[in-house]
Structure 1
Amino acid sequence: MTETSSPERERRPDWAAAAIGLGLAVVAVVVAWNAYSLRGGAYATVGPKSFPYVVAAALAILSVWTLVEAWRGDFPKRDHDELGPIFWIVAGLAAQLLLLKPAGFSIATGLLFACAAAAFGKRRLWLTIPIGIALAFVIWMVFTRLLKLALPGGPLERLVF
């Protein structure tokens, strides 16, 4: 079946873009609702409530614009998504989220590094996991020792310090 350039084919609504437009509208309503519930700033015309209203208005305008473009079908054709790399990235983020407290920052972030490397084609996990853990450990040391910020420590961090 060949793809034709008939007006019906080009004018078909883009339902994914419409969902994004509706999501923008929901975010605009939430921001406006939170701005309405803010207290303070009654003594000045421009206060802490002003900027969230500006953000909500901008989101609402973007929402309407996105919905109109989605209805017209004017968005460019999207590329096909490769599910393998998406799986690796999501798996790495999930592993970091689940292992951050029990395993510590270095191990959890090292696994995220290895999964991201696998998503980009470097599937030698025996090499990327130790490299990721070492890099994450250096980052942990910089943040906790030099900058005095708190990152969760695990067995590796307790072993060294």
Structure 2
Amino acid sequence: MQTESMGSPEARPDHRPAQLAIGVGAVLLAAALAYGAANIPSDAGYAGVGPDFLPWLVAAAMALCGVLLIWEVRTGGFRKMEEPSGAARGDWHALAWVSAGILGNAALITTIGFILSCALCFTLAVRGLRISEGKPGGHAMQTVRDAATGMLISAPTYWLFTKFLAVNLPGLTGTGWL
């Protein structure tokens, strides 16, 4: 006869195998991160930590999360888990718009510059997100507003990185302002 005790680490059969797979996957990912971190030189810099510090920290945090997930599954599964929200199926039309924005940005950033490619990415992604909410994608005037908003976001970002932080981002002109 099995008794239920609060916090008992005994394995209970009411968990789903997929829940256990998530925890095991997290531990395996942590092991892969640790393997990668072991190949990074550990020479300490001026702050006393080397370039391998952050990868080791991420690997350790991921391993801890994986172990805690496995413990949670072995002691009864993910308790008090709400039913998933949203549609039963993915919205592939919306995903196509968002993906087009991201891929377009990656493909065009060196050709048309950071500002215009990010504005294009914003415009297409916003259209996809609207569609995913069941709203219309937007008419021509809405698309123009989205493109303007994308430029109003990306231009100051570009100027901040290029003028104040001295990070080279691809521009449209050689002046550094577009």
In structure 2, what is the equivalent of residue 103 of structure 1? 112
SS of structure 1 residue aligned to 2:100? helix
Structure 2: distance between partners of 1:107 and 1:26: 40
Determine whether 1:58 maps to 2:61: yes
Greater helix content: 1
Structure 2: distance between partners of 1:136 and 1:116: 14
**Alignment TM-score, normalising by the size of structure 1:** 0.64
In structure 2, what is the equivalent of residue 21 of structure 1? 23
Q: Would you say the 8 A contact 1:113–1:128 is kept in 2?
A: yes
Structure 1: distance between partners of 2:49 and 2:165: 33
1:79 maps to which of 80, 85, 91: 85
Q: Would you say the 8 A contact 1:106–1:134 is kept in 2?
A: no
Quick one: which amino acid aligns to residue 34 of structure 2?
A
Structure 2: distance between partners of 1:105 and 1:70: 45
Q: CA RMSD in A?
A: 3.6
Structure 1 residue 59 displacement after superposition: 1.9
Q: Would you say the 8 A contact 1:89–1:116 is kept in 2?
A: yes
Q: Would you say the 8 A contact 1:28–1:56 is kept in 2?
A: yes
**Alignment TM-score, normalising by the size of structure 2:** 0.60
Aligned residues: 146
Structure 2: distance between partners of 1:52 and 1:105: 29
Alignment of 1:1-161 (within 5 A): 11=14, 13=16, 15=18, 17-40=19-42, 48=50, 53=56, 55-69=58-72, 72-74=76-78, 76=81, 77-81=83-87, 83=91, 85-118=94-127, 119-120=129-130, 123=138, 124-154=142-172, 157-158=173-174
